[in-house]
Structure 1
Amino acid sequence: MSKLILILAAQILLLTTIASAGDGGDFASTMNPARLHNKEKLTHLRVYWHDIRSGQNPSSIMIQPPIKKYSSTYFGSITMMDNKLTSGVSINSTVVGQAQGFYAGAAQPELGFLMAMTFAFKTGEYNGSTITILGRNTVLSEVREMPVVGGSGIFRLARGHVELRTKLFDKKTGDAIVEYNCFVLHY
């Protein structure tokens, strides 16, 4: 019965698209109804995010300082990043991709960032695929969670979440290594 309903819904969408084509353009088309029967997969990825703020070649740079010069929460700051993603905690582990985006100090009473970044994978079956993460990161919490809001390649139509755990933080340099456990639903 539900298969029949899906087929009827696909036919109605197709007829609607054909009927609207006469009013000025072919800007829309109906997806292949057979694709509706594909099963979603859950992929778990564990990567290590290396935020290097020190040295000759930092991977993240503050482009907007906090609104108060000595703010402990970095409220108002914006940092751009192009961080390595590795298979292990060590920076010398296999690089599996890059985390590209920014984080901004978005909380006044605590250390909390709005993070927007894309994990661009460079190796194996995920080479050329991405996941996009957007959310709040209260960095002093032991475990944080942010949503996966999209993706491309193998991860097209992705959704899910990531769990973050800080593995190393150097208070003097600001360098950090964070474990990202990514749980991604995709087709």
Structure 2
Amino acid sequence: MATPPRSSIFLFLLLPTILAVASLQVKVSGQSIPWPWPCPYECPSQNETRLHLFSHQFPALPGVPNPNEVSVASPPGSAIGFGQMYVHDWILAEGPNPNENVVGRLQGFHIQAGQAFTSWYTSHIMLFQNGRFAGSTLEVLGLTGNPTDELSITGGTGVLTNAHGTAKFTSSQSSTSTDAIREVDIHVFYTPETPTTV
């Protein structure tokens, strides 16, 4: 006589427990609530959005009119500028022209954090001033200095409350000596706040 497989025996022995858990009811304030517990309120659903924008950095270099960054620290003694820090207010637009379809700003700072190679620790608030996300922000940080860099989105406000995701910065072929253009591909998840009733 053939012996049934161990997996069948295991399932047969656990079946009553699985069925009991599936029909488990928990009493809360006299009401039966199924387990696992559902959200006790009308929980808002998480939204997902992808954006394709362009950042415009007018570097603080000789010959660049109206730079949108300023050097605030420049320690001596490093060939690649280890410890150098800039505060920036870069333009965020829908295209490679910094004067058309401006969506907002990238306000923050970047620090040369690499001793052996170029590696800028970059942290900024992506402030949306126009469009469907006007008045909202995203907090973006990570390391930059390569042709393509992926930064983390660690928070947000306004419509983009509770945001998380990534922002990929890629050097654009439209860049000039006075405008370092990067294409910004944003992939963000967020949960808008719902009005509360008292």
Tell me which interval the TM-score lies in, with the shorter structure as reference length: 0.7 to 0.9
Q: Check 1:5–1:121 CA distance in 2 against 1; reply closer, same or farther (3 A cut).
A: same
User: 1:120 offset after TM fit, Å?
Assistant: 0.4
The match for 2:56 is 50
The match for 1:90 is 97
The match for 1:176 is 180
The match for 1:154 is 159
Give CA deviations for 1:56-97 in whole Å, capped at 9, x if unaligned. Answer: 42101111114426x23x210110011110100122221100
Q: Distance in 2 between matches of 1:158 and 1:3?
A: 30
The letter for the 2-side match of 1:65 is S
Give CA deviations for 1:103-134 in whole Å, capped at 9, x if unaligned. Answer: 00001111111011011001121000010101
* Percent of pairs with identical residues: 25
User: 1:184 offset after TM fit, Å?
Assistant: 0.6
Q: Distance in 2 between matches of 1:151 and 1:98?
A: 14
Q: Distance in 2 between matches of 1:63 and 1:99?
A: 17
Q: How many residue pairs end up in the alignment?
A: 156
Q: Give the number of the structure whose residues are more often helix, by fraction.
A: 1
What TM-score do the two structures reach when normalised by structure 2? 0.71
Structure 2 residue runs of 5 or longer lacking an equivalent are 1-21, 23-32, 192-198
Give CA deviations for 1:118-172 in whole Å, capped at 9, x if unaligned. Answer: 11001121000010101111x2x332111000010111000000111011555x6
The letter for the 2-side match of 1:84 is I
Q: Rg: which structure is higher? A: 2
What TM-score do the two structures reach when normalised by structure 1? 0.75
Q: Distance in 1 between matches of 2:106 and 2:141?
A: 12
Matched ranges for 1:94-133 at <5 A: 94-133=101-140
Matched ranges for 1:49-68 at <5 A: 49-53=55-59, 54=61, 55-68=64-77
Structure 1 residue runs of 5 or longer lacking an equivalent are 11-32
Q: Distance in 1 between matches of 2:56 and 2:74?
A: 21
Native 8 Å contact 1:143 1:163 kept in 2? yes
Q: Distance in 1 between matches of 2:56 and 2:75?
A: 22
- The list of structure 1 runs, each at least 4 consecutive aligned residues, that deviate by more than 4 angstroms after superposition, is 1-4
Give CA deviations for 1:3-40 in whole Å, capped at 9, x if unaligned. Answer: 65335x85xxxxxxxxxxxxxxxxxxxxxx322xx221
Q: Check 1:59–1:41 CA distance in 2 against 1; reply closer, same or farther (3 A cut).
A: same
The match for 1:21 is none
The letter for the 2-side match of 1:47 is L
The letter for the 1-side match of 2:107 is Q
The match for 1:22 is none
